[in-house]
Each structure stands twice: as structure tokens, then as C-alpha cells.
Structure 1
């Protein structure tokens, strides 16, 4: 039996689910009456989504569709980092949405500090863009997970490598 148990706190998303959500968004844009003739495009890159449309009104409609499709596929809306709206050629607008992966150093420090303050028998260490939490008791780790799920961090948190 292992003397210590651990898990990792990461911020990640399923890329294939995002591909499916963007594909469904494009299909909705083609079939919706108010967006049909706007020549709106939603393109997924490796780390960004680019929306090109004819007005800020249709951009808001595309945001709503994209967020709905992502939520239905269990993707957190916290992965989207909306950039500023730029004017494109021909009186069109373009917006780039960055996809957030990994936990920044500031948030990792905040998470590990809150764990150390509340749970005295649990150790939290920052490892790159993840936080490893370890303890001798599995119940302590379960309590940490439940506590972190109650908090509202600006990134989507997942709990992996539970052993």
C-alpha cells in the first residue's frame, strides 16, 4: 500500500470536443435565417478561434452559439479568452479568441496557498502549469477537491492522476 496519495490540478480541455463545437457552430450559422447571408466564418486554429463577420450584432450571436455548443459538450467557458474586436476589410469585424490551457504561476500560487491554509496535512507543489497535491489520507484529498470545486478561479480546473 502506498504511503502517500496524490493528484494533479490542471487546466486543460478536450480539443476534439472543441473541434466538434466549432463545426456545429458553423452549421448553425449556415442554417440560421439571421446569419445566413452574413458570410460569417468561425475558424479553429491550434491555440485560437477566429470569428469574421459583418457586424458586432452578428458577432454577439455567434458568441452565443459557440458558448452553447461548447457547454453542451462539457467544455468550460473559462477556456475562451476574448480578444478585442478589430475592423476587417469591407466593413466587417474580426475577433480572435485565445484558448487558455495551463494554470498560470499566480493562480497556482493562490491555489497552493489556499490548500496550505485550510488543510494542514496536505502538501501542494507547483509543477510547471499544474499543481500536485499529496497527502497520507485519501479523505483529505477528496476534501481538497470538493473545496476547490466551490471556488471560482478564472481558469477551468480538472483533477487528474489520482493515485
Structure 2
């Protein structure tokens, strides 16, 4: 039997879970005594989250609340790419947080090289913002998944289309 098995390595997140996590964050900000009068807003755009608050101290508090709510909803903290803290009007601060989605070309090359170096009978090919891994052995594919879970990469990885 000469069949091959494959899976895709992607970096993605569930947008609805992110919306729910940010709703919970906004709810907690409006209920917490130390954040009630700060007029803090957390707005979700297409590819960014904008946090507007009165000081860097409350910005750090909002970050911790947002991370807690996101991890409870099984979202990786690696999807958040924190931008520079800017001063806004009225002695306030604003920060834009980019949402990371997709595997960049250089990270894809790093993953493919790691797979080629450690697993000789496996092929890895970069396809857009995903990496396709093919092999004749399902066991090799399982070992690759375990190995990539151990690797410290700057993006959150998911393994899809396992066939």
C-alpha cells in the first residue's frame, strides 16, 4: 500500500472566542473598583485590538485581564503582538495590539528545515501561510507534532487536515 498521509501546520485563532474574551474583559473593567472611573475602552478591529486608558499602570492591568480571559477560552497568548504605548489626548495612553494570524515565510522555512533535519523520510512544503507535511508513516507525523509542540516558536501552532 503506497498511500501517503499529511497534515497542515497553521497559525490561527477562533475569532468568536476572541470576541467573547474581549466582552468578558470589558465587563470586568466596568465592574472592578480600581478600573471603574478610568473610562478604559478595549476595541476589536479587523486585525488589531485598541486599548485606550488613563495610565500605563491600568494598561498593564487590562493586559493581564485580557490574557486571563483569552487563555481560559483556549486562545494562545502568542496571538497578541503588543505595539508601542502612545500618548493620547487628555493625558491618556493608547496601545494597538496586532493579532498574529498565519505563519510568516521565515518561520515557515525554520519549521520546514527542522522537519527535514530531524525526520529524513518526511517532506515539508510551504504553502502560503501554512506548512504541509507529508509522509508514508502516520507515526512519523505524530512524532513531528510532538516535536513542534516542544519547540519555542513566536507563533501559536495548530495542526489541521490530518489525513
TM range (shorter): over 0.9
TM value normalised by structure 1: 0.99
Runs of 4+ in 1 over 4 A off after TM superposition: none
User: Which 5+ residue runs of structure 1 have no aligned equivalent?
Assistant: none
| 1:77 pairs with 2:77 | yes
- Partners in 2 of 1:64 and 1:2 — Cα distance? 51
Q: 5 Å matches for 1:32-47?
A: 32-47=32-47
* 3-state SS in 2 of match to 1:52: strand
Please name the residue that 1:49 is paired with.
49
Partner of 1:67: 67
Give the structure 1 partner of residue 11 of structure 2: 11
1:1-163 paired onto structure 2 within 5 Å: 3-163=3-163
Give the total of aligned pairs: 163
Q: Deviations over 1:18-55 (max 9, x none)?
A: 00000000000000000000000000011000000000
* Superposition RMSD in Å: 0.8
How far the C-alpha of 1:2 sits from its partner, in A, is 6.7
The 2-side partners of 1:52 and 1:88 are apart by 8
Unaligned runs of 5+ residues in structure 2 are none
